[in-house]
Amino acid sequence: MAVTNPRVKVPETAKKGDIIQIKTLIFHDMETGIRKDKKTGKLIPRMIINKFVCSFNGKEVFSANMHRAIAANPYFAFHARVRESGTFDFTWTDDKGETVKASRKIAVT
């Protein structure tokens, strides 16, 4: 996947039961598949990230099924309630099935 490192923002610490905000951004053209190549006049095939999953300690918390109308460089901001220390895992999957992963640890007191 022609993407760079995703950017993920998760607080490093939180209190038990807190609701934290998570922000993610990944760099991707999100080719819609209905745009034409100006030189050849042919349609440029669709190439987007179609799935984003966020899980905490192995359990899915939030996910998104994306279609072509999601803007380039998909950005999500959402929340999570944390009850224990652990790791947030983030996975982006594109139309070719290739994935990009990121993870962040959080210490909960």
Partner 1 sequence: MTENTNKSALLGRRDVLRAAAAGALAIAGSSLFSRHVLATPETAARTLSKLTGGGTAQEGKVFLKLPEIADNGNTVPITISIDSPMTEADYVKAVHVVAEGNPRPDVVTFNLSPSVGKAVISTRMRLRETQNVVVAAVMSDGSVYFTKKMVKVTIGGCGV
Binding site for partner 1 (CB under 8 A): 19, 32, 34-36, 56, 59-72, 74-81
Residue closer to partner 1 by CB (options 68, 104) is 68
Shortest spacing between CB 70 and partner 1, in angstroms: 6
**Among 10, 20, 8, 14, which Cα is nearest to 74's?**
8
Q: Which residue has the tokens 């819609």?
A: 32
Residue closer to partner 1 by CB (options 6, 74) is 74
Shortest spacing between CB 96 and partner 1, in angstroms: 20
Shortest spacing between CB 83 and partner 1, in angstroms: 8
The residues near 38 (Cβ < 8 Å, ≥ 6 apart) are: none
**DSSP conformation letters of 86-109:** EEEEEEEEETTS-EEEEEEEEEE-
Residue closer to partner 1 by CB (options 31, 102) is 31
